Structure 1
Amino acid sequence: MYPGITLFHLTIPSYWVMALIGAILSFLFVHIRKRKFHIPGDDVTHIFLFCVVGGIIGAKLLHLLVALPNMLAHLDVMNTQPDLWTDYFLNGFVFYGGVIGGFLFALWYCKRYRIYFLEACDLFTPILPFFHIFGRIGCFLAGCCYGIPSSWGFIYPHETVTRLPLPLIEAACNIMILMILLLFEKYCSPRGYHLPFYGILYGITRFVLEFFRGDSARGICLLSTSQWISIAVVLGSVIWMIWNTKRLERIKQQ
């Protein structure tokens, strides 16, 4: 693992380095994609920035919400060790929270400036798995989100057993999801289906992968928080697809 990268005597967390690389390449990717859509370049940039801000806020808030029971259970210890408070507030982000936050911020921008939201969703959806590839590589370098003990894999910091490199497996899954989305867009993609299609693909993938997570319990009723969110995402995506299909049928009849 490489939790930190040292540049000019300054150590930067590997996760943030990968997140920054992913964000820069995602910005370039979305501007290459905009040629196929009817959204002005300035608005594409603004929506991207809103997604970044909303994503960071949402990812942090959901992390704090998930960590709240543990924080309350160890409140006496945390009050004697202020560094623990700093660690909770500066480190730890939940991907689903980032997606929700970015979605809400983008929705507000599109409503405020009269941008066709479904087209914006179609434009930006492939950016999600694209950025997530770099995010999961960052997780691997940081030594977090590791998998269950396995006969093959890596020995993580502070561990004595070999564990599945689950972040790398999820990065590979995101590559496949990205390729499927691009093929879907090229050959059979009416307007408004990109985001729910991604929601179904990633929701199912994440639900399965969570069974192989090896870090501490992060949920209730035998399922992790991310698994419960995955179920909601898949159901919501199916409802979105049904709604969009009926919407397109009404347009054809007019």
Structure 2
Amino acid sequence: MHNELFKLGPVTIYGYGLMIALGILFAYRLVVYRAANRQLELSHIFSLTVWSLVGGFIGAKLLYWITQFHNIVSNPGSLLNLGEGFVVYGGIIGGIVAGFVYCKLKSIRFLQHLDLFVPSIALAQGFGRIGCLLAGCCYGEETHSWFGITFHNSEIAPNGIALVPTQIMESVFSFGLCIILLLLAKRTKKVGLVACVYLIFYSLGRFIIEFYRGDIIRGQVGLLSTSQLIALFIVLGTSLMVFLLQYQNRTTRIHN
């Protein structure tokens, strides 16, 4: 895989950046289309997108710095490199927190808008992992299976060694999850359910794929990677939220 796709004069187009840009573009078009069908105010959709992107960038960077704390202490200058080093879970958490703050400030329904956005988040993640494949980051462990992929010119992944294609696995998983969420959104009127399904399914899928990752830069907490530990907390917290939503709906029906 080659991250440097082509040059336009002095400008180099990188595969990772291009896939991120395409992911944001298609994700935004999807959320705008679905918001228009639900007659939601598009100005809020645009603002929520901007807030979530900024919050996601900050969250992804902060979590990366946390996982790389020891390396940063020995090399503080790495803090100035804002173009590399992100953790997806930090982006998800940061984006959701930023969206929550915006919804509270504008007095609009947070869970309703989160339900709207999560299929687009999964779609963007699918493109993002293609970018990871082109860049060579987030690579898998060595394998002797038929489905292994081998890098030859990567500056990040080991070259000349067959690796588990974790980037492809998560990309396919994310695109599939986007489709599932869109189908679920058409069939349910329960506010918050689509968002909860996204958080649980993505966390479970990510937890499993993490076992096949070979990059040690992710950070480790005991036997689990940082992402696996976060995934467990998200599954537990979201499952509790589903229970509370079900209890609230049941209580409301009884009182009505």
1:146–1:165 contact (8 Å) kept in structure 2: yes
> How far did 1:86 drift?
4.5
> How far did 1:126 drift?
0.7
User: Would you say 1:25 and 2:36 are equivalent positions?
Assistant: no
Report the residue type matching 1:246 in the other structure.
Y
* Identical-pair percentage: 32
Q: Which residue of 2 aligns with 1:223?
A: 224
> How far did 1:189 drift?
4.5
Q: Which residue of 1 aligns with 2:141?
A: 148
Q: Return the TM-score normalized by structure 1.
A: 0.91
Q: Which residue of 2 aligns with 1:8?
A: 8
Q: 1-side partners of 2:15 and 2:65: how far apart?
A: 21
Report the residue type matching 1:134 in the other structure.
F
Q: Which residue of 1 aligns with 2:90?
A: 97
Map 1:1-254 onto structure 2 (within 5 A): 1-9=1-9, 10-72=11-73, 75=74, 78=75, 84=78, 86-87=80-81, 89-151=82-144, 152-156=147-151, 157=154, 158-216=158-216, 218-252=219-253, 253-254=255-256
Residue-by-residue CA offset, 1:4-27 (whole Å, 9 max, x unaligned):
232313213321111111111111
> How far did 1:48 drift?
1.0
Q: Return the TM-score normalized by structure 2.
A: 0.90
2:36–2:42 contact (8 Å) kept in structure 1: no
> How far did 1:38 drift?
4.7
Report the residue type matching 1:29 in the other structure.
L
Q: 1-side partners of 2:170 and 2:245: how far apart?
A: 29
Q: 2-side partners of 1:164 and 1:86: how far apart?
A: 32
1:39–1:120 contact (8 Å) kept in structure 2: no
Q: 2-side partners of 1:5 and 1:58: how far apart?
A: 28
Helix, strand or coil for the counterpart of 2:211? helix
Residue-by-residue CA offset, 1:114-172 (whole Å, 9 max, x unaligned):
11111111111111111000100000000011111122322222423111111111001
- 175-184 or 231-240: bigger deviation: 175-184
Report the residue type matching 1:147 in the other structure.
G
Aligned CA-pair RMSD? 1.7
2:52–2:99 contact (8 Å) kept in structure 1: yes
Helix, strand or coil for the counterpart of 1:12? strand
1:37–1:123 contact (8 Å) kept in structure 2: no
Residue-by-residue CA offset, 1:200-241 (whole Å, 9 max, x unaligned):
101110000000001116212110000000001101110110
Report the residue type matching 1:214 in the other structure.
G
Helix, strand or coil for the counterpart of 1:150? coil
1:37–1:119 contact (8 Å) kept in structure 2: no
- 238-247 or 130-139: bigger deviation: 238-247
Residue-by-residue CA offset, 1:35-63 (whole Å, 9 max, x unaligned):
34353111111111111111111111111
Q: Which blocks of at least 5 consecutive residues in structure 2 are unaligned?
A: none
Helix, strand or coil for the counterpart of 1:148? coil
Helix, strand or coil for the counterpart of 1:212? coil
What is the total number of aligned residue pairs between the two structures? 246
Q: 1-side partners of 2:62 and 2:86: how far apart?
A: 8
> How far did 1:188 drift?
3.5
2:139–2:164 contact (8 Å) kept in structure 1: yes
Q: 2-side partners of 1:135 and 1:186: how far apart?
A: 26
> How far did 1:69 drift?
2.1
Report the residue type matching 2:148 in the other structure.
G
